Structure 1
Amino acid sequence: MEESKTSLKVPPNQDKTQNDIIRTVVGDFGRWQLRISLLMALVKLPIAWFQLSIVFLAPSTKFWCKKPEDFHNITDETWRVLMEPNNTNSAKGLNQGHCLIRNVESSNIDNISEDLISCTNGFIYDTSMFLSSITTEWDLVCDKQKFTDLSQIVFMFGVLLGNIILGVLADKYGRKRILVICLFFQSIFGILASFSPFLWLFILLRFLLALTNGGTMVTSFVLCIEIVEGKWRTIIPILYQIPFGLGNSVMSIVAYFLRDWRKFHLTISLLSFLFVSFIWLIPESPRWLLVAGKKNKAFKELIFAAKENKRDMPNFKDTLQNITHNKSCKDNGKLKQLFSTRELSKRTILLCINWAIAGITFFAFTQYMGFIGNNLFLNVALGGFTVLPGTFLCIFLVSNFGRRLTIAYSHAFTALCFFLILPFPKGVYPFDWPRILFAGCGIIGLSVSIPAIYLYTGELIPTALRNTGLGFVMMFSRLTSMLAPLIISLQDVAVFLPLLILGVATAIQVLLVLPLPETEKSRLPDDIKDIESRYGQNEAKDDENGNQYL
């Protein structure tokens, strides 16, 4: 936090870059940055609720064939014992039950054939844990079980498109405007989905919800990273990730008390609507306003920020007028600009591959962890808290070893954990403690690498393209996340395959991050020219404070 009153005298005739201006006027970190950082971090709560809510919308459910009216004189338990086949014709995958039953003529239970027939009278579901779910309401079992996976695939595809489309729009029209629009429609589509009478309408509304969720995700992170400088540019974007994990825990508590899927989804949607109030609480990014050539609006935001941080600058306006960068945003947010130079193309391609592997690793291993315990609510809640040690460890490593090496080390550690699980078969050791130990260590490794790569990506891409670039490279994590169920299902082919694939993929990430430049103690590039000003020459250009352009 800044000291109470700081008088800053900057010669009015000295040219200043945007980084210099923001740092000089508002400081590295003060009350203004603290307020915005906290608000942006809280936005991660609804992001987590909607992206991970499928766990409670379509939980693992036991089911059996409904008995015909002709068998009203026998109990449900007797019916199940008589009709369920004593073989392997049970449903595979998420839900547990039999899709076929023994054939019986009329109500004569003594005349039961070993021939199997489908359940023509529908299904009965175990409601001991959940009163209702999308599985029980729309009979998403047996041949229709694939629609559960489809609904989540469509959702993740919506997040993918939202990352790109709304990221581009945020670079063109501003961070605040797009973020507030996303927060509003995210809640509206969530509320509408809670009342959907049809499965396909539910999937459509969740897709539209996902579009805005993806926009919220990328825009809130960019706004967070653009307001801080110095050591805080390392700390704040990493701490920003914590509420995503805590959102899991909050969601688990809500689901514990609301066992009906409609009430649960409506509640998280209404809670999400509270974040629309941020329209009065957050500013537009001064960095974006300066890049966009909106000097007057940027001046107003910076003056307000300086006052909130209790900083006094007598020749403030003169200093602002001498900014050397006066750009227009008409070309901001064009995807083709990410490949306009050799250096930026290299960064974009390597980041795309890194995010692709990160997506499949994170979502596949998270799903793999979900089968460890029997208490779903406790598993999800505790899983949310595991991000805390990894996040604080990430801050320590990034501060001492830099971004690139931290990501490389954490990838190597995570891959090692995956490989170390393989020699220990399931069910051999008490409570499977070796598998749980190394799996927990793997989660910590992911908790280090994911926040670090978020930070690293935001620093490698210039301000004029930051939302566009983040949305584009993160698109690949959404694409590969759709493959997570397929990776997990490979254990039916060979038990070791999922972990072997994840381990090899994570090890490859180590090699992919090393060619990228270190960004520690480097100031954020405003545009492509800032990047080329360094990499177009043999030596990096330092500013008066010893900071380099990325």
Structure 2
Amino acid sequence: MIISELIGKFGKYQFWICVLIFANKFGVAFHQMAIVFLAPPAVYYCPGNATCCDSPAYNTSLFTRTIVTEWNLICEKSFLKDITQTLFQFGVLFGSLVFGIISDRYGRKSTLITSVVLEVITGIMSSFMPDFWSFTIIRMILGISVGGIMVVGFVIVMEYVGNDIRYVISALYHVPFTLGHMLLALFGYYIRDYMYYQLAISVVNVFLLIYICVLPESPRWLLAVNKTFEAITLIERIAKTNNMDIEDISTKIELFQLEHKPKKSSVLELFRSPNLRKNILIMSFNWLVSSYCFYGVTFYISHLTGDIFINVAAMGCVCLCGCLIAIPILKFMNRKTIVILGNVICSISILIIAFVPEGIVSIVFGCIGVMFSFMLLVIVYLYCSEMFPTVVRNAAIGISSMSARMGSMIAPFVAALRPYGQWCAPVGFGIFPLVAALLCILLPETKDCELMTTIEEGEAFGKSRTRNPNGNEIT
């Protein structure tokens, strides 16, 4: 697209954007995975060795206070600790969809700033809630903000970088999440009281309020909604920062706008057009499966054996490996091929857990399944952003991310099937990646393709053989 030609594919300005946006992924990781230390398994004693009682004596040698011990979420109320995480993920689901649609209509900048402000406020508020339901409701609203940050932040980055470097930035975008996952173990180790722990992981996000002053709009979005003058002003500033030629930028942009004639589109366009409808449904299912397996298997194997702090840090390391492995794979392989093979390997690894004794072997295969499911999440983020045009890109990622949250909401309940048989949970997780792999055969390839702008381009994409910027034919 003309934007990459005018501002460069990756320069000082794009580097600054990446630093700004990548920083918010630490907070996303803190809040997404916080439940591990907010509601760890509680050890308690009842008078007369009874199984349940109204006033249990809790063992506080590991954690001085958790939401379980604070509100007695044991026995008949034990399901409530899963409810609080399910409602948080429902919030992420809702936020992914709503903020995705809003950002396509009103802009990336204002939507991301709103999400960040909401995250900071609700994160701190949740630390001081006096009862379970107020805590859970505020965390659900916190989840809404996290959903917005995840979706809008990624799209901003993808709309700034050129297609040659996009696969690298897409994978690196998730590295702060994995580092945040590992840092969470450090927070949990040194802060054993849930209230101070929640406050600490929320206060560190206050620095993101700098977005109000320095975050720019996406030039692609400005062009897509026909805000040509603002787009020209921003593109000239970016080009100047990147030491690019700023002459004739205005003329080139105006000619581009005349040729493409951008018009407003809504999320319904994704379902009115047959090709886009097929792509969004299959892509959403892949997001659901990847998230379902990642959160479910992570939860499942973290309770098999070992120290909780080491387990959390180790899972973060596994995910970091998945991010780094994705970079060379994305460079040399097609997106569709990677997603198909990744789903197959993920499925096999998880299914093996059903047939081997619990212990080191099951943990190793579980880690392989977690790594591939997380790597698939990294890749489908990029794959989805390349598959849909600018006017509905955020909505497409929002819908897909919403599907991912559905997977993460279901996952804890499937992982809880372990008492009914060793094979139950692994089979429940392992079957679906095979289905996702088969459906991916119907998707188009997007490697080395410029990002599309209009609905017409998106509907035509993949229907016939076209050429990428390198002159190679794609389907």
TM-score using structure 2 length: 0.95
Q: Which has the higher mean CA deviation after the structures are superposed, 432-441 or 269-278?
A: 432-441
Name the SS of the counterpart of 2:205 in structure 1: helix
Write the distance in 2 (CA, Å) between the matches of 1:248 and 1:124: 31
Q: CA deviation at 1:126?
A: 0.9
Aligned partners of 1:242 and 1:388 also within 8 Å: yes
Paired position in structure 1 for 2:435: 508
Q: CA deviation at 1:547?
A: 7.7
User: Does residue 84 of structure 1 match 2:11?
Assistant: no
Aligned partners of 1:417 and 1:442 also within 8 Å: yes
Which residue type is aligned with residue 233 of structure 2? K
Which residue type is aligned with residue 135 of structure 2? F
Which residue of 465, 484, 488 maps to 2:392? 465
- The number of aligned residues is 473
Q: CA deviation at 1:433?
A: 2.8
Q: CA deviation at 1:480?
A: 2.5
Which residue of 317, 341, 345 maps to 1:413? 345
Which residue of 245, 260, 267 maps to 1:312? 245
Runs of at least 5 residues in structure 2 that lack an aligned partner in the other structure: none
Aligned partners of 2:326 and 2:379 also within 8 Å: yes
Write the distance in 2 (CA, Å) between the matches of 1:443 and 1:364: 9
The equivalences for 1:139-158 within 5 A come to: 139-158=72-91
- Cα–Cα, structure 1 residues 230 and 458, in superposed 2: closer, same or farther, change >3 Å? closer
Write the distance in 1 (CA, Å) between the matches of 2:353 and 2:461: 44
Aligned partners of 1:531 and 1:549 also within 8 Å: no
Write the distance in 2 (CA, Å) between the matches of 1:228 and 1:546: 20
User: Does residue 235 of structure 1 match 2:235?
Assistant: no
Name the SS of the counterpart of 1:287 in structure 2: helix
User: Does residue 343 of structure 1 match 2:278?
Assistant: no
User: Does residue 380 of structure 1 match 2:361?
Assistant: no
Which residue type is aligned with residue 452 of structure 1? I
Write the distance in 2 (CA, Å) between the matches of 1:315 and 1:229: 20
Write the distance in 2 (CA, Å) between the matches of 1:462 and 1:257: 46
Write the distance in 2 (CA, Å) between the matches of 1:180 and 1:482: 26
User: Does residue 46 of structure 1 match 2:11?
Assistant: no
Write the distance in 2 (CA, Å) between the matches of 1:317 and 1:485: 53
Write the distance in 1 (CA, Å) between the matches of 2:85 and 2:195: 17
Q: CA deviation at 1:290?
A: 0.5
Write the distance in 2 (CA, Å) between the matches of 1:443 and 1:203: 27
Q: 1:145-164: per-residue Cα shift (whole Å, max 9, x none)?
A: 12111111111111111011
Paired position in structure 2 for 1:137: 70
If each structure's helix is expressed as a fraction of its own residues, which one has the higher value?
Answer: 2
Write the distance in 1 (CA, Å) between the matches of 2:269 and 2:309: 45
Aligned partners of 1:387 and 1:444 also within 8 Å: yes
Give the RMSD, CA atoms, in angstroms. 1.8
User: Does residue 475 of structure 1 match 2:398?
Assistant: no
Between structure 1 and structure 2, the one with the greater Rg is: 1
Paired position in structure 2 for 1:529: 456
Q: 1:307-326: per-residue Cα shift (whole Å, max 9, x none)?
A: 11111232222222211234
Write the distance in 2 (CA, Å) between the matches of 1:476 and 1:378: 30
Which residue of 207, 212, 217 maps to 1:274? 207
User: Does residue 223 of structure 1 match 2:150?
Assistant: no
The equivalences for 1:356-367 within 5 A come to: 356-367=288-299
Q: CA deviation at 1:46?
A: 0.6
Paired position in structure 2 for 1:205: 138
Q: CA deviation at 1:493?
A: 2.1
Aligned partners of 2:28 and 2:150 also within 8 Å: yes
Paired position in structure 1 for 2:262: 327
- Cα–Cα, structure 1 residues 489 and 532, in superposed 2: closer, same or farther, change >3 Å? closer
Q: CA deviation at 1:491?
A: 2.2
Write the distance in 2 (CA, Å) between the matches of 1:531 and 1:370: 42
- Cα–Cα, structure 1 residues 541 and 434, in superposed 2: closer, same or farther, change >3 Å? closer
Which residue type is aligned with residue 456 of structure 2? K
- Cα–Cα, structure 1 residues 400 and 203, in superposed 2: closer, same or farther, change >3 Å? same
Name the SS of the counterpart of 2:44 in structure 1: strand
- Cα–Cα, structure 1 residues 345 and 267, in superposed 2: closer, same or farther, change >3 Å? same
The equivalences for 1:40-189 within 5 A come to: 40-65=21-46, 83-84=48-49, 98-99=51-52, 119-120=53-54, 122-189=55-122
Which residue type is aligned with residue 515 of structure 1? L
Q: 1:220-276: per-residue Cα shift (whole Å, max 9, x none)?
A: 011111111132111101110111111111122112111111111111111112111
Q: 1:113-149: per-residue Cα shift (whole Å, max 9, x none)?
A: xxxxxx24x1211111111111111111111112111
Which residue of 417, 433, 451 maps to 1:490? 417
Which residue of 375, 398, 403 maps to 1:448? 375
